[in-house]
Structure 1
Amino acid sequence: MPTLHYTPAAARTLARLEKGRRADPRRLRRVRQALEHLAADPHHPGLRSHRYAVLPGHRGTAAWTSYIDQGPGAWRIHWTWGRDGGAVTVLRVGPHL
């Protein structure tokens, strides 16, 4: 089972969903559920993980994207495989690009 690591940007998004005026308990629950699936199996069918061509701000990085939800206002998790034994680095959590 891969270990999840977060970039500062991803960690800030999670913190904003937890508290403050932008807190969103419903979305936070969905994000956490998707992250649990990602940690258990990055290719979990519900995540619909696939390679992402070019992730803004991460050029040259082989990034993947996974679904959090679908439809208007859909959110995604963008991540990459680490070199240290299958660790997953969460690059970004947020609205679909």
Structure 2
Amino acid sequence: MFTLRFSDDAEATLDRLKGGGKAEQAKLKKVLRTLGRLQMDPRYPGLRSHQYENFPDLPDQKVWDSYVENQTPAAWRVYWMYGPNEKDEQGNEIAVITVLVIGPHL
């Protein structure tokens, strides 16, 4: 299991969806389901996670994207990367996934 950390951009998207109307609430439900699966197993088949090529602002990092929706106009994705990992009070390593962007396919 991974701990999720959110970029400012991803956090702002979640806040906007939480404060939105009916359409945003439906999208939020899909996003939260995706994040839950990502947290449990980034290789979950339904996420269709794959490495993203040439992510803006992070050209030297391995960035992945996972499906929120599929076969939908402007289908949403979650863009993320592994780490950086953290340590708890006992010095045990905590596996982290950093969520960079949540939104329409780039």
User: TM-score, normalization: structure 2?
Assistant: 0.85
Structure 1 residue ranges without an equivalent (≥5): none
Map 1:54-69 onto structure 2 (within 5 A).
54-69=54-69
User: TM-score, normalization: structure 1?
Assistant: 0.93
Query: Could you tell me which residue of structure 1 aligns to residue 74 of structure 2?
Result: 73
The one of 84, 89, 103 aligned to 1:94: 103
Distance 2:23 2:98 in 1: 23
Distance 2:20 2:69 in 1: 23
Amino acid at match of 1:45: P
- 1:21 positional shift: 6.5
On the 8 A contact 1:16/1:22 being kept in 2, the answer is no
* Percent pairwise identity: 41
Structure 2 residue ranges without an equivalent (≥5): 86-93
- 1:38 positional shift: 0.2
On the 8 A contact 1:16/1:23 being kept in 2, the answer is no
Moved over 6 A (4+): none
Change (3 A) 1:23 1:14: farther
Q: What RMSD in Å do the two structures reach over aligned CA positions?
A: 1.6
